[in-house]
Structure 1
């Protein structure tokens, strides 16, 4: 791809409707070989961007889901101890007395190596590596990740050094539950994802749900945008807009009226307090 416009077209072809900022950030990440850190509220399409980017580039998507307490072993590799033990017992049964050095060498080969997402990304590049919700990991893991992304090389003491034949395209996402450290940010390009504007959200709904009437799509998107301004515990994202529109289609609806909206809020709001607040507001449909 030779321009952000070509990247935008490729993402669009993969089912993702980018704005100019997203297309430019994705293009630069690929062209410059730099990780792209995408921050934004939940539901703004960060993970979907990684899927679409992999489809647009025609490569595999490898996802590392971060969580509290994740460590290097969970992200990089582990040894298949049960298979190693079975192999050792087989050697003992077949040969009796074993050559210690040869036996140990046979235990630490790729046959018994369980590659986790980071190691798989190095082995299987070219690919897109999605490091999802990096803000949920701790400082130690973030420092480890920075080291891997600096050289795209890892050293496994019993096995040797693994270097990516070419750097994977790396996309990191953060919901900003905590600040990502400056050292990692300096390594990355950065893009903040906003919720889509009304025309783009309607276009996304109709792209994903071809049977959705334009008027109903506008009503759903407008109502969801109004909810996002109500300081809810969990403001709805595009995924919730899609769920709500799909629920309305399943009910055979062509119009979002007050009664129907109140009955189907469970498709778009996932906290009782949020639903009560929206119902108490009364005029929340936002119908054009």
Structure 2
């Protein structure tokens, strides 16, 4: 009788488990093992993605600032020309759409970074298992990361009992440290969205074109909320061990065939 059970998983856990299962399948089929070059490639791609996110944050800051200038009636002369921002047709509308797109791309990039973290952690555990090294140290050696988030955990190395236990006061302090970071980042994200919606609601013209731009910004922001929610929302998955049994059977058949030949 095939054993089945269900559990709830977030997208992060799903990526980690599927990667770990793929690595196990590699070993069962006798394929070449993933080596450190693959792991280093994943880390480098994550670093590039994080650099892209930094550029998107700067783009959001600039476009939101320009939208605020246009909304408040201010004026900035374009360097090297005699023209000013107010002379550009639909400048406020363009700034708001650019800000909304920046928010959307930032949230999608953040989601992708979380999945990269899950895959890197799963691959690093497999590649570095023979040396019993902490996978996070490999990643930190190849790309800058906020190590204070790692060492604020009660057990900094996942799956390993901490040799140095911290007091309750220390856990509270480090919890507040990381908590403030989370609140500030999330607060800035909500502030950017609120600013876009407020400026759009009060600054866009009350005509068809204005409402179309406003509705477009709302639709883009709703897509951003879906992307952000994907980091934490969980859905029920059913694990079917008949698939694993079939893989083992196929592997046995391949082994018997090799012996016969």
Q: TM-score, normalising length from structure 2? A: 0.29
Kindly indicate which of the two structures has a greater share of residues assigned to helix: 2
Q: Which has the higher strand share?
A: 1
